[in-house]
Structure 1
């Protein structure tokens, strides 16, 4: 166990770009067989790298399929764009995938940022501040709708909030998140974690209630120990199509096993 009394967990962000769905499905199954803890996709309509108009698939329909095609791993979006769905509808979608998966959904959510998605699909892009304000309005609606649904979710669905905005996003994480996810090297992560802890103090929440998650790459020995010392216990490796190289993921899984003993 870590100093935060949480086990180290490893996730794969299986980026649904530049690949056929059969390959994506096989890769999710392979990651589960390797022993990964979570398999995430992302909520975009176009690739974020490579050919900007390359192959791409939608997020939540894919999560419904993963709920049936996997059996052990937790699944979710890293992260759902709050702008693309009515919050009450999103809560219902999350509850449904939670039941299909037997209680394995993580509800990852963020304010949204990829302007091409908005323009091509007819959503108002607005401003970063406006999108964060919309997220602040949506989170209580999601919580309220989850409490009203029949049947209720199989468990309290963990909410993962992604983003590093220090004044607003991290404050929303302090209020609503079970998991906070960010990016960056240990120096950046140290600052974000410190600010998140302060927001928790300001809103009267125990910061130990929030699992800390960071996107990682490369050799785990290069950054893993330092991030672990900061209280980060969830590490997510990204992989893109068309072939999905999982060699880095294997290294992080082996490192996790060494840490957890």
Structure 2
């Protein structure tokens, strides 16, 4: 795992209960503040608050961010594999990656993906919900197709698009992490991380993959600096912060940017 990489701060702009103009303004301000990564989420309805409240779709939004932003990396935390053909997902990711190339050598898109969990999304939009196991099996198979499609597209992606996978299940999710992930995201506690690393390393041996470059990501929501320090000491280097409007609390982002800068000093 990459424990010597700089600490980065990602902010997940929750695409609910706001107008898109509010999201656009938040993206601009957060990039100007120095946030490293911007995320949204891939759902069709609000996860909190009024279940019938305003909400916007993930991938079309990410295309707009690719054009709007200049520096930040960005993606979904996380894309739902179930909604789209895997080859289409690969092509969409490649295209957003190219849109985001601004003067540098590469694009800035992160392909965060997962197996899905919010049943209303499936029921309302006509997707088969299945079981947690069948959705994870599909994710494993479909990621092979995503990677294969990236190797066939013309033009190719501007870089090896980083794959970010969330979850902590030891029998399926962490094997998918070991096979495909460049970034592993979870909500596990600092005390849990060494055991999870051991599981990932076991699966990496089975997959014959070198995971020395894996970046460990975790969540800051409802956590303080003491917990963040412990996560850092345990190996976490990407920290994500849920950010909700319409009353955006930028002081919270400033607080965590100061903490990040202190770690990187």
Q: TM-score, normalised by structure 2?
A: 0.94
The whole-number CA distance in structure 1 between the counterparts of 2:99 and 2:153 is: 15
Report if aligned partners of 2:3, 2:215 keep a CA contact under 8 Å in 1.
no
Alpha-carbon shift at residue 203 of structure 1 (Å): 2.5
The whole-number CA distance in structure 1 between the counterparts of 2:193 and 2:58 is: 27
Alpha-carbon shift at residue 186 of structure 1 (Å): 1.8
Alpha-carbon shift at residue 12 of structure 1 (Å): 0.2
Alpha-carbon shift at residue 220 of structure 1 (Å): 4.6
Whether 2:25 is the aligned partner of 1:26: answer yes
Indicate the SS of the match to 1:214.
strand
Alpha-carbon shift at residue 20 of structure 1 (Å): 0.5
Report if aligned partners of 2:40, 2:75 keep a CA contact under 8 Å in 1.
yes
Report if aligned partners of 1:237, 1:248 keep a CA contact under 8 Å in 2.
no
The whole-number CA distance in structure 2 between the counterparts of 1:65 and 1:177 is: 25
Whether 2:99 is the aligned partner of 1:100: answer yes
The whole-number CA distance in structure 2 between the counterparts of 1:65 and 1:71 is: 12
The whole-number CA distance in structure 1 between the counterparts of 2:63 and 2:211 is: 32
Whether 2:80 is the aligned partner of 1:76: answer no
The whole-number CA distance in structure 2 between the counterparts of 1:78 and 1:6 is: 21
Structure 2 residue aligned with 1:141, among 130, 142, 145? 145
Report if aligned partners of 2:78, 2:113 keep a CA contact under 8 Å in 1.
yes
Counterpart residue number, 1:205: 209
The whole-number CA distance in structure 1 between the counterparts of 2:198 and 2:239 is: 18
Indicate the SS of the match to 1:89.
helix
The whole-number CA distance in structure 1 between the counterparts of 2:182 and 2:164 is: 6
Alpha-carbon shift at residue 219 of structure 1 (Å): 5.8
Counterpart residue number, 1:255: 259
The whole-number CA distance in structure 2 between the counterparts of 1:3 and 1:60 is: 29
What pairs up with 1:27-66 in 2 under 5 angstroms?
Answer: 27-66=26-65
Alpha-carbon shift at residue 205 of structure 1 (Å): 2.6
How large is the RMSD of aligned CA atoms in angstroms?
1.5
Between the two proteins, the alignment pairs up a number of residues equal to 260
The whole-number CA distance in structure 2 between the counterparts of 1:248 and 1:196 is: 32
Alpha-carbon shift at residue 3 of structure 1 (Å): 7.9
Structure 2 residue aligned with 1:245, among 244, 249, 253? 249
Indicate the SS of the match to 2:110.
strand
The whole-number CA distance in structure 2 between the counterparts of 1:3 and 1:206 is: 12
The whole-number CA distance in structure 1 between the counterparts of 2:206 and 2:251 is: 42
Alpha-carbon shift at residue 243 of structure 1 (Å): 2.1
Alpha-carbon shift at residue 226 of structure 1 (Å): 0.9
Q: TM-score, normalised by structure 1?
A: 0.95
The whole-number CA distance in structure 2 between the counterparts of 1:145 and 1:155 is: 14
Counterpart residue number, 2:172: 168
